[in-house]
Every structure is written in C-alpha cells, then in structure tokens.
Structure 1
C-alpha cells in the first residue's frame, strides 16, 4: 500500500485547470473519473482524476499560497516527455524539462511544469530506461 490515497488542490479557475490537467495527464493514462456537483459539496464542483480510481481532486476557489508540488508516476520516460509536451501545449509553464535528476538517484527521470495557478506538477519515472 502506498503512502497517499488521494490529494486535493484548489485552483482559481476550475474550467481552465480542467482543460490543462485533462491534456497534461492524458500521456500518463490519467483522466477525469468523477465529478461531484456543487449542490452536493456546498461550495462548487469537485473533479477527480485517476487511472483506476480518483487520486487527484481539483476544486475551484481562490488562488492558494503556498502552492503545492505533486509528483505523478509515469510508466516510462516517453510518458514523462509526452506529459511535459502536453502540459506546455495546454498552457503550462516549463519548470524543468525532461531529464535525469541524478541528485535523487541515477535513474530518476522527470519533468516539471507549473499549472495555471503555479502549482508544481511533476511526472517521474524511476526505471533505468
């Protein structure tokens, strides 16, 4: 069992962020799986992304400080590359292009982007190739 079951972040413009995350996460096999309408939450729609179950939840609200860092698992290095390209095409800001980060370990291959609210989103592959 992993450490995290799910994580939720607040974004300032939900529709803008949904477009960004839908495009950026697609290369990782992650998509929108659930939407809980505002009439049930009492404060607005909440949208869950995942591969098998919702693990990343987005909700609308005010821009938050400090921003969060989320590292998402990628099956291979090509998926990391595709995530980075898709995130930039969807309006993300480069925060560290795809490459080896040997200060973590020799096979740590990752890319970093800032989402529309400045949250640092990483895709990482721990496999040697």
Structure 2
C-alpha cells in the first residue's frame, strides 16, 4: 500500500524545522500544518506527508528517507539547499547504476545524522 505520511523524531525541533524548510524548498515542500512539538511539510494543495516530531531532546537512531524529485535539476537543488542549510554531503548528485540505469540521486546527512536522499528516475 502507498504510504500516506511518515514522521521522524528530532532532538532539536526548532533547528530541524528551519533546516527542512530550507532543504525541501526546491522540492516545493512547505510547512502545511503545525502543532506543538510537530510540523508537517507538504506540497501546496496536498496533505502533509513528511512530519517532524520533537523527541523532547532525546537522541534517536538515524533514519533514511528518499524524496522524489521531478528532474535532475531538482535533485541538484535539493542537495545544494541542504548543504547551505547545514547538512553534510553524503553523495553528490549523479547516476547510481547500482540501483538501476535510470536512478539519479543525491544524498545528505541532516543536522541529526539522518541520511536523506532526493531521487529522480530518468526516462529511458
């Protein structure tokens, strides 16, 4: 079944919200909903599908999440915006033939150690 939404727990909620507001802007994601200790990001006109939830300062194990890009340029913009917002490069934008001949992606490590990816599946 398709995933309706997902959330990750973050120790520094305010820093994570600022980081993802900048990092996800090239993907057209914006803050769509917010409650005390949680914030949902989504594409305008759609539901929030990526959430941050405060772990109230507790460190949590890192996760891997892949966002779907619409073009190579969007993958590159996600990577650049993430680095500018404080992420660490975990894989420059480029083809990943080990995952498939059409798999174009970039990877970053966010402020809390999560491995975040933006992937675009190039038309064959």
Same fold (TM over 0.5): yes
Q: CA deviation at 1:86?
A: 0.2
Task: State which of 59, 66, 86 in structure 2 corresponds to 1:63.
Answer: 59
Task: Trace 1:1-129 onto structure 2 (pairs within 5 A).
Answer: 3-37=2-36, 45-51=37-43, 52-61=46-55, 62-65=58-61, 67-128=62-123
Say which is worse superposed, 24-33 or 2-11, in terms of deviation.
2-11
Structure 1 runs not aligned, ≥5 long? 38-44
Give, in whole Å, the separation in 1 of the partners of 2:123 and 2:19: 29
Q: Which has the higher strand share?
A: 2
Gaps of 5+ in 2: none
For residues 31-76 of structure 1, the C-alpha deviation after alignment (integer angstroms, 9 at most, x for no partner) is: 1100012xxxxxxx110011121101101121212x1100000011
Structure 1 outlier segments of 4+, above 3 Å = none
Question: What's the TM-score once normalised by structure 1's chain length?
Answer: 0.89
TM-score by length of structure 2 reads 0.92
Aligned equivalents of 2:95, 2:59: Cα separation in 1 = 31
CA RMSD of aligned residues (A): 1.2
Report the equivalent of 1:41.
none
Q: In structure 2, the residue corresponding to 1:124 is in which secondary structure?
A: strand
- C-alpha separation between the residues in 2 aligned to 1:95 and 1:63? 21
